[in-house]
Amino acid sequence: MSENTKSATKARLYDAFAASGKALASGKRLELLDLLAQGERTVDALAKAAGLNLTTASAHLQTLKQAGFVATRREGVRIHYRLAGDDVAQLFALLRKVAEAHQAAVPPARDAYLGEDASAELSREELRVRIAVGKAVVLDVRPVEEYQAGHIPGALSIPVDELTDRINELPEDLEIVVYCRGEYCVLAYDAVRLLTERGRRAIRLNDGMLEWRLSQLPVDAADLA
């Protein structure tokens, strides 16, 4: 193989790598991956959750599909999207951590979104210990469809926007460990603030369902109907 041929084939290889990077070069596409890491969803559901119109959501999803990051299945007239594999979820999680470590704009943007937080947090391993000895109730504050797609075994489901009205469903004598989608999910922060204001002992899991799955810890699925 000539040097010119080697150079051309190398360029094609790196251009192929770059195509994946281009597909990720959109905040909204990353948000869609974050939602799909929680479970399969229709285009309509994804558009609503991400605050997009259907046309824009469909265009972003097609870009992700062309890059091989998502897969689809058809059910009647509905198209359901899912991540193409756990490696996509791992890439997404790693991208966020690398950006936080090396991109100066990330920490202040994170703090502005999640808000000031002085509450305690605990690790997945600490949570498993507390569950085993019955010293905590685990609360999933994600939307119901995400809980149904997969949740920490034994976790209760009360979406954060229902928590004010349903707080009496939670025991008063146990610490409440709250989790949501992942490390950068604001739902758990909001829930802990609300619970604390109502006099409950509440603490956050320091990440969420994305990291729980990627650690290959047990996951339950349930139909609440």
Catalytic residues: 180
87 to 40, 84, 94: CA distances (angstroms):
16, 8, 10
Return d(Cα 147, Cα 223) in angstroms, integer: 9
The three-state secondary structure class of 112 is helix
Q: Which two tokens mark 74?
A: 């058809």
Q: What are the backbone angles phi and psi of residue 118, rounded to the nearest 5°?
A: -110, 5
Return d(Cα 204, Cα 196) in angstroms, integer: 11
Which helix H or strand E contains 73, and what residues bound it? strand 70-75
Q: Which residues pair with 205 in a beta bridge?
A: 122
Q: Which two tokens mark 37?
A: 């890491």
